[in-house]
Amino acid sequence: MSRTTVPVTITVDGTRYTDEVEPRTLLVHYLREQVGKVGTVVGCDTSNCGACTVHLDGRSVKSCNVLAVQADGSEITTVEGLEKDGVLHPVQQAFHDCHGLQCGYCTPGMIMQSIDLLNENPDPSEEEIRSGLEGNLCRCTGYHNIVKAVQQAAGGAR
Ligand code: FES
Ligand code: FES
């Protein structure tokens, strides 16, 4: 009989999980359905919107574009792993302060991508912020307050 699942061990937001997954299971579905990290959302399933963005070993990835088996042995950080001891991550705080969201659907992915952008470039220009967030779509805000939030977070890091 052929085997239909394979074991994976993945650390998610600091906790190590060992689970059986189907080889075709997408990382985003593993995170939401098996680990319960429903803060990571699915906006398109076709790598367009960026709503599913998480960090895989410290770099942002669209988790609908990665198989769970490809993340075996990795560390994943989701938006739910950013808050520490009740204190929001500076980028979360900046989105809150600058009203960088309306419906909030894009926000988990925007925040994860913004953190990656600031890790790479701690002092980005407005143009660099807009181009760094190009893969993340927002249907509500017109991006203006999202850019302001990233600028505020960058200012705080200076
Ligand atoms: S759900 Fe992954 S890019 Fe849209
Ligand atoms: S706040 Fe609604 S999609 Fe961005």
94 falls within a domain: yes
Atom of ligand 1 nearest to the CA of 63: 2
Overall number of domains in the chain: 2
pLDDT recorded at residue 29? 98
Pair 114, 75 in one domain: no
Q: Is the CB of 138 under 6 A from ligand 2?
A: yes
- Using the 3D structure, point to which of 35, 59, 81 is the last residue of a domain: 81
Question: Which DSSP symbol is given to 30?
Answer: I
Instruction: Give the residue, by CA position, lying nearest to ligand 2 atom 4.
Output: 138
Query: In which residue ranges of the chain is pLDDT below 50?
Result: 1
pLDDT recorded at residue 158? 56
- Using the 3D structure, point to which of 22, 57, 81 is the last residue of a domain: 81
The whole model's pTM is what? Answer: 0.95
Q: What's 14's domain CATH number?
A: 3.10.20.30
58 falls within a domain: yes
Q: Is the CB of 143 under 6 A from ligand 2?
A: no
pLDDT recorded at residue 2? 54
Pair 67, 102 in one domain: no
pLDDT recorded at residue 3? 66
**Torsion angle of C-alpha atoms 90, 92, 93, 95, degrees rounded to 10:** 120
**Nearest alpha-carbon partner for 52 in 123, 60, 18:** 60
pLDDT recorded at residue 92? 98
Q: Is the CB of 52 under 6 A from ligand 1?
A: yes
Tell me the residue ranges of DSSP E strands in the chain. Answer: 6-12, 15-21, 53-56, 59-62, 75-77
pLDDT recorded at residue 45? 79
Domain that includes residue 10, residue range = 6-81
